[in-house]
Structure 1
Amino acid sequence: MNQTVNISFEKALLKEIDKIAKKEHRSRSELIREAARSYIEKKAKWADIFALGENIAKNAKISQDDVFDEIRITRKNLKAS
């Protein structure tokens, strides 16, 4: 079941949405629905990636400070070479 919502867009953004929708022979609503789905999927994938990284770091007993220290060392070595 679809639910209708009212949202506002800046004129320039709405113009871009309409331009793309027309080019792809789709409605504005279809384009915005797809954009919302894509955003939600991307956020979920990034959440999974961060959870995996946190799990690996926890198991390896690596802290955020360890990572920052390694980045500093690597950058220092790159500048020296």
Structure 2
Amino acid sequence: MNQTVNISFEKALLKEIDKIAKREHRSRSELIREAARAYIEKKSRWQAIYDFAANSNHKKNISENDVLDEIKSIRNKRKAS
């Protein structure tokens, strides 16, 4: 179910949004919805990384490889969904 909201944008930003939407043959709303989804997904991925770090603080010998392995794991989960 969709819900309508009112948002205000600076003129220059709205002009850019409209230009991109026109170039991609999409509505302004579609473009803004996609931007919101992308932002939320990006924030969720970073939060997962921060949570891993916070939960790993009890580990005495966390290595750079541990962090890299967790990043790879999160990226693989994202690709699978």
Give the % identical residues. Answer: 73
Q: Which has the higher helix share?
A: 1
The equivalent of 2:17 in structure 1 is: 17
Alignment gaps of 5+ in structure 1: 63-81
The equivalent of 1:59 in structure 2 is: 59
Structure 1 residue 27 and structure 2 residue 32: aligned?
no
Compute the TM-score of the two structures, normalised by the length of structure 2.
0.71
Equivalent runs, 1:41-60 vs 2, <5 Å:
41-60=41-60
Matched to 1:16, the amino acid is E
CA shift digits 1:8-54 (9 cap, x unpaired): 00000000000110111100000000000010111111000011112
The alignment's C-alpha RMSD in Å is 1.5
Matched to 1:18, the amino acid is D
**Moved >3 Å (runs of 4+):** none
Q: CA deviation at 1:56?
A: 2.2
Further displaced range: 51-60 or 11-20: 51-60
Alignment gaps of 5+ in structure 2: 63-81
Q: CA deviation at 1:61?
A: 7.0
> What is the CA–CA distance in structure 1 between the aligned matches of 2:59 and 2:15, rounded to whole Å?
49
Of structures 1 and 2, the one with the larger relative CO (CA 8 A, separation 6+) is 2
> What is the CA–CA distance in structure 1 between the aligned matches of 2:58 and 2:23, rounded to whole Å?
48
Matched to 2:9, the amino acid is F
